Amino acid sequence: GESVGLHLPTLSVQEGDNSIINCAYSNSASDYFIWYKQESGKGPQFIIDIRSNMDKRQGQRVTVLLNKTVKHLSLQIAATQPGDSAVYFCAENTWAAGNKLTFGGGTRVLVKP
Amino acid sequence: EAGVTQSPTHLIKTRGQQVTLRCSPISGHTSVYWYQQALGLGLQFLLWYDEGEERNRGNFPPRFSGRQFPNYSSELNVNALELEDSALYLCASSLPRHRALIEKLFFGSGTQLSVL
């Protein structure tokens, strides 16, 4: 199967601080990117998405930045809360590559009180 | 409104057995996707069904198969189970997508399969 990453990197953040989660994607032709949050025992939950013709998109307490030059995607969480503790996945999609979401390996975020 | 539902939530099988996992998409969604998530790993794409047809398949052996029913629910079948098939199997659904770029997927909570 297709997979990116075997071990989950972990980001420890103090409650109230901002978090930045990074993702390097593989296909320079990708048209669409999305961030998911997965809490223990649950399926991934949509956070925010961005199309390739945008550089930045903001949601509630979250911002996604896209740098197509270096194929880099980031998720910024403002004022991180204990409920933000989870595994975060980025995913990309390209019509030409079969029109399926390809997920990155994930980053675990631990929020310290 | 009900989300994506999967059954069973947990399953224990032995090597060589066969298993069937079930998924009901969100009402109005006709596309169903299956992903495998092994412990500590990311999501690996298995299958995509849209309007009853298989639209795409991941790099998995033929013993992984599935189907989609007229009501858009779906089954994932795994034959001749191997130890490494132990994983969380996630189903997701979306609006019709075989003519448009797949975007937001809505996931169920998954079926945890343990192969002993």
Residues of chain B in contact with residue A25, where contact means CB-CB under 8 angstroms, are none
Comparing C-alpha atoms, which of B51, B46, B78, B82 is closest to residue B63?
B78
Residues of chain A in contact with residue B23, where contact means CB-CB under 8 angstroms, are none
Residues of chain B in contact with residue A95, where contact means CB-CB under 8 angstroms, are 101
Question: Could you report the per-residue pLDDT of A10-64, keeping only the tens digit for each?
Answer: 999 999 999 999 999 988 889 999 999 999 888 999 999 999 999 999 999 999 9
Instruction: Inform me whether the pLDDT recorded for A1 exceeds 50.
Output: no
pLDDT attached to residue B83: 97
Closest chain B residue to A6, measured at CA: B41
pLDDT attached to residue A7: 62
Question: Could you report the per-residue pLDDT of A74-96, keeping only the tens digit for each?
Answer: 999 999 999 999 999 999 998 88
b (16+ CB within 10 A) / e for B67-83 = ebeeebbbbbebeebee
Q: Does A3 touch chain B (CB under 8 A)?
A: yes
Compute the nearest-CA separation of A106 from chain B (Å): 6
Partner-chain residue, chosen from A3, A93, A106, that has the shortest CB–CB distance to B44: A3
Instruction: Inform me whether the pLDDT recorded for B77 exceeds 70.
Output: yes
User: What is the C-alpha to C-alpha distance for residues B35 and A13, in angstroms, rounded to an integer?
Assistant: 29
Comparing C-alpha atoms, which of B75, B87, B81 is closest to residue B6?
B75
The fraction of chain B above a pLDDT of 90, given in percent, is 84
Partner-chain residue, chosen from A1, A42, A91, that has the shortest CB–CB distance to B109: A42
